[in-house]
Amino acid sequence: MRRAPASVHTLIWRQIRVPTAVIAALVVLVVRVGISSYSLSGGARGMVGLRPVIENPAVSALYGRVTSLPNAGAFVEWKMGMFVALAIAMWSALMATRVTRGSEDDGTWDLLVVSRVGRQPALASAMGVLFEAGVAVGAATFLMLVSGGQRTGDSLLYGLAMVGIAWSGAALGLLGAQFFAPRRSASQVALCSIGLLFIVRVLADGSTGNEWLRWVTPFGWLENVGAFHHRAELWLLPLLALPIATSISAWRLQRTRDVGSAWWTRADRSRARESLLRTPWRFAWRERWGMLGAWTVGLGVLGLVVGYLTNALVQLCRTDPGYVKLLKRWGFGSMVTGRGFIAEACVLFAVAISFMVAALLVSIGTDSYQGRLDLPLSYGTSRAKWLASGVLTTVVATAAIAMFCALATWLGVVVSGTTMGLRAPLEGMANALTMAPWLIGVSVLLIALTPRFSYLVIAMMLTVFYVDAVLGPIMRWPAWLLDVSPFYHLHLVPVAPSNWGATLSLTLIGVAAGLLGLRVFTRRDVGH
C-alpha cells in the first residue's frame, strides 16, 4: 500500500511528477538529437552555406531569427528551440489547470476549505510545485547542453530562458483557472493564449517592419535572450518576473470567488441549455464545441500567416539563383516555388492536426474515468455507441477544420500577392489528413487501455515520431527506424504525388488498433 502524501505540496507533486518526467525526457531527447545533427552536418563550417536560408523571412517566421549557427547550441536553439518552448508552455499550462481548476471541479479543494490548510496556502503550494517543475525542465535542458560540449554560461542562460517559458505557461493556466470553469474551458483559454503569443512571434520574425512585436510575447523574449548568439541577459527579467507577478494576481483573484466557481460565473442565474443533449451523437458535438472553436481559430490564423509568408520566399528565389541552389543542397528544394512552400507547411499542419485529433478523442477517456458515463449508461446508451459518437464527431470536425485551414492559407497567399489556385492548399491539407485513420485507431486503443494518461502517451508518441522523420535522414538513421514514423511517409503534396501505399498500410493499422480498442473499451468497468 502506498503511503498517503504528508502535505499539500507532496500531493500536488504526485499529480504532475509523471508528466514532468516525460516532458523533461523529451527535451533531453530533442537536444541530444540536435547536437548530433549539427555534428553530422559538418559543424560550423557546414552551416556557413545555410546562412541565406536562415535569414529568409519565411524560414525565420517558422524557426526564429538568427544570423549564424556557430555552435551546436545555436543550432538547437534555432532549429528546435521555438517548438520545444511551445510544447513546454502548453504542458505547463495544462498542469496548472489540472492541479487548480481540476481539483476544484472534482471537489478536492472542498476539503481544504474546511481544513486547517485553507485555499490560499493550497494555491501557493500549487504555484510553488509548478515553478519547481519548470526549474526541473530548465535544469534538464542545461545539463543536456553541457554534457553535449556546449559552453556552461550559454547553456545556463538558455536553461533559465526555458524556465521562464515554463513559468509563463503555468501563469496563464493559473489565471485561466480563476476566470473560467470547468477545467476544460480554462485549459482551452490558456492554450489559445499561448498559441496567440506564438503567432505574434511568427509575425515579428516574418517581416522586418514588425520586429517590435517580439517585445510583447515570451517567445520573443526567449529569442531576444540569444543564449548562443548575442547574449542579452536583461531579457530574462520579463521572462522570469512577469509570470511571478501574473501568478500572484491569480492568487489574489481566488479570494474574490467561491470554491468551485469561476470569477465570472453566475451559475444560479443562467438558464439550462437542452440543445444537443438528446443523443450521444449530439452531445459529442456539444462537449467538443468550445475546443473545436479554439482549434479552428488558432489553425486558421496560422494558415493566414503561413500563406502570407509565401511571397517573401518566392521573391527571393526569383532574384537569387544561388539561393535556389543552396535550398536544393540542404534538402529544401521544394521551397523554391509557392506550391512547394505550401507543401512543406502542410506537413507542419499535419503535426498540429494530429494533436487536435488527440485532444478531441481523449474526452472519451475523461468521461469514463471521471464517472460521467454513469448516467447515460444507466439510460441504455451503450459504451460502443458513446465511443462511436466521439470518433465520428472527431472525423467530421477534423476534415472540416483542415479544409478551413486550406482556405485560410490560400487567402494568405492571395493577400501576399502570389498567384496560386485554391487546389494546391486543398491537396496539401488532404494529404495531411491521410494520417488521421492511423492516429484515430491508435488513440482509441490507448484511451481504452489507459484513459487517464492517454493524451500524455499520444503527445509523446507524436513528438518522437516527428523528431524521427525530421532529423532521422540527416543523422542517417536505419531505414527501419525511419519507416516507424508516419510523418516520414508524408509526401510533399501537391509538388509530389501522395504516398498511397503507406496511406493504405497506416489505415489498416489504424482500423485494427481501433477495433481492438473498441473491444477493450466496451469491456471496461464504469469509472475505469
How many Å apart are CA 201 and CA 194, to the nearest integer?
A: 11
Q: By the 8 A CB rule, do 236 and 168 touch?
A: no
- Percent of the chain beyond pLDDT 70? 86
What does the pLDDT average to over 129-150? 95
38: closest CA among 157, 198, 150? 150
Averaged pLDDT, 463-468? 85
How much is the pTM?
Answer: 0.78
pLDDT at position 323 is 55
pLDDT tier at 6, thresholds 50, 70, 90: low
The H or E element that residue 73 is part of is helix 72-79
Instruction: Kindly report the backbone phi and psi dihedral angles of residue 226, in degrees, each rounded to the nearest multiple of 5, phi listed first.
Output: 55, 55
Query: How do residues 166-212 score in pLDDT, each as one tens digit?
Result: 999 999 999 999 988 888 788 888 988 998 899 899 888 877 778 88
User: Phi and psi at residue 116, in whole multiples of 5°?
Assistant: -80, -5
C-alpha cell at position 369: 474515468
Residue 29: what pLDDT?
85
As a three-state string, the secondary structure of 377-396 is: HHCCCCHHHHHHHHHHHHHH
pLDDT of residue 343: 86
- Nearest Cα neighbor of 367 from 182, 191, 108, 510 is 182
How confident is the model at residue 268, as a pLDDT? 38
Name every residue whose Cβ is closer than 8 Å to that of residue 514 and which is 6 or more positions away in sequence. Answer: 391, 440, 441, 444, 445
Q: Give the whole-angstrom CA distance, residue 63 versus residue 77.
A: 9
- Cα–Cα separations (whole angstroms), residue 495 to 353, 408, 488: 21, 20, 16
Instruction: Tell me the per-residue pLDDT of 18-60, one tens digit each, with 9 for 90 and over.
Output: 889 989 988 998 898 888 878 877 788 877 766 777 777 777 8
Instruction: Answer yes or no: is pLDDT of 126 > 70.
Output: yes
Helix %, strand %, coil % of the chain (to 5): 80, 0, 20
pLDDT of residue 241: 96
| Rg of the chain on CA atoms, in Å | 23
What is the average per-residue pLDDT within 281-300? 84
Please give the pLDDT value at position 9.
87
- Report whether 275 contacts 299 (CB < 8 A): no
Please say whether the beta carbons of 206 and 57 come within 8 A. yes
- Name the pLDDT band for 216 (thresholds 50, 70, 90): very high
Q: Is the pLDDT of residue 158 over 90?
A: yes
pLDDT score for 269: 43
Q: Which residue has the higher pLDDT, 369 or 93?
A: 93
- What one-character DSSP code corresponds to residue 434? G
CB 360 within 8 A of CB 394: yes
Q: What is the pLDDT of residue 332?
A: 57
What pLDDT is attached to residue 334? Answer: 57
**Chain mean pLDDT for the chain:** 84
pLDDT, tens digit (0-9, with 9 covering 90-100), for 398-430: 999 999 999 999 999 888 888 888 999 999 999
Those residues with Cβ within 8 angstroms of residue 517's Cβ, 6 or more apart along the chain or in another chain: 441, 444, 445, 446, 447, 448, 449
Half-sphere exposure of 65 (CA within 13 A, CB side): 19
Residue 42's pLDDT is what?
77
Amino acid residing at 357? V
| Burial call 144-174: b when 16+ CB within 10 Å, e when fewer | bbbebebeeebbbbbbbbbbbbbbbbbbbbb
- Cell numbers 492554450 correspond to 191
2 pLDDT more than 60:
no
Q: Can you tell me the mean pLDDT for 442-447?
A: 94
Categorize the per-residue pLDDT at 479 as very low, low, confident or very high, splitting at 50, 70 and 90.
Answer: confident
Percent of the chain with pLDDT over 90: 38
Q: In angstroms, rounded to a whole number, what is the distance separating the alpha carbons of residues 478 and 457?
A: 24
> Which is nearest to 434 in space by CA: 398, 462, 471?
398
- Confidence category of residue 324, pLDDT binned at 50, 70, 90: low
- What confidence category does residue 320 fall into, taking pLDDT thresholds of 50, 70 and 90? low
pLDDT tens per residue across span 243-281: 999 999 999 888 877 776 766 554 434 454 555 556 778
The continuous run of DSSP H or E covering 431 comes out as: helix 423-432
Q: Which of 373, 526, 329, 365 is nearest to 452 (CA)?
A: 365
Mean pLDDT for the stretch of residues 482-509: 91
CA–CA separation, 87 vs 19, rounded Å? 12
- Check residues 69 and 277 and name the one with the higher pLDDT: 69
Q: Give, in order, the Cα–Cα distances in Å from 220 to each of 65, 214, 430, 440.
A: 10, 4, 32, 35
Report yes or no: 159 and 42 within 8 Å, Cβ to Cβ: no
Q: Is residue 464 over pLDDT 90? A: no
Q: Minimal CA–CA distance to 101: which of 185, 226, 224, 192?
A: 185
Q: Give pLDDT, residue 336.
A: 59
